């Protein structure tokens, strides 16, 4: 065996090794990307289901004895921009005046009377904390729930899974799950997940 043939064999072996390493790296990176995309899609789908269950409760049971039952915008449904939680879990922010024109914010508060007594819940999205649900807690209106402490704070989506989420609230002729019964009601969309999630109709908040 000559020195030349040995060097040629080593060069061929090195080329094969480098090719194999590149192929292995491509497989690993592709697998990680596929796994991350699958987790992202799964989390987004789960969030969409959660929102479709949580938000339509807004205004439920309010004004049941009146000719036009349901809650009202800016009283039983409140949208906040630049919302924050204090060290004692007090919710504050810049209240957006809701109307037919959509307004955006990072926190939404709603009142409901499912068990006969008014209670408020809230969702707040912050880059440093992810998406968190507050409450429920006793209240008189959604406005009254601002500022005071929330005892229950649950993280729905951890920090870093999505960029900053935004709630866009307006009105629409709608009914949950696309049903045939429609009325002018509040409508909520969430952006920042995968483009914009399907709008959630709040039939118990009058538009």
Helix (H, G, I), strand (E, B) or coil at 174: strand
All residues at 6 or more sequence positions from 69 whose CB lies less than 8 Å from its CB, including other chains: 62, 63, 204
Residue 153 burial by Cβ neighbours in a 10 Å radius (0-12, 13-18, 19+): middle
Q: Could you give the residue ranges of the DSSP H alpha helices within the chain?
A: 3-54
Render each residue's pLDDT in the chain as its tens digit; 207 residues. Answer: 576 677 667 778 788 777 877 777 776 665 555 545 445 566 677 788 888 888 999 999 898 777 778 899 999 999 999 999 998 999 999 999 999 899 999 999 999 998 788 999 999 999 888 899 999 999 999 988 988 899 999 998 888 777 678 899 999 998 887 777 788 899 998 887 666 678 899 999 987
What end-to-end distance do the CA atoms of the chain give, in Å? 89
| Residue 22 CA: distances (Å) to CA of 11, 29, 31 | 17, 11, 14
Note whether 113 and 69 are within 8 A (CB). no
């Amino acid at each position: 065996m000559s020195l030349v043939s040995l060097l040629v064999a080593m060069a061929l072996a090195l080329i094969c090794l480098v090719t194999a390493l590149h192929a292995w790296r491509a497989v690993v990176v592709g697998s990680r990307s596929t796994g991350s995309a699958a987790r992202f899609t799964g989390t987004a789908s789960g969030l969409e289901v959660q929102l479709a269950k949580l938000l339509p409760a807004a205004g439920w049971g309010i004004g049941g004895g009146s000719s036009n039952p349901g809650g009202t915008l800016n009283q039983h449904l409140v949208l906040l921009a630049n919302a924050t939680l204090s060290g004692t879990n007090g919710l504050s922010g810049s209240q957006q005046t809701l109307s037919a024109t959509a307004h955006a914010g990072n926190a939404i508060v709603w009142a409901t009377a499912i068990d006969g007594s008014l209670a408020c819940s809230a969702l707040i999205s912050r880059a440093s904390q992810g998406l968190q649900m507050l409450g429920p807690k006793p209240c008189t209106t959604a406005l009254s729930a601002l500022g005071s402490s929330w005892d229950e704070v649950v993280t729905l989506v951890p920090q870093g899974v999505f960029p900053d989420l935004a709630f866009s609230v307006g009105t629409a002729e709608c009914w949950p799950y696309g049903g045939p019964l429609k009325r002018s009601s509040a409508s909520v969309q969430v952006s920042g997940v995968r483009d914009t999630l399907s709008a959630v109709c709040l039939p118990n908040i009058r538009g």
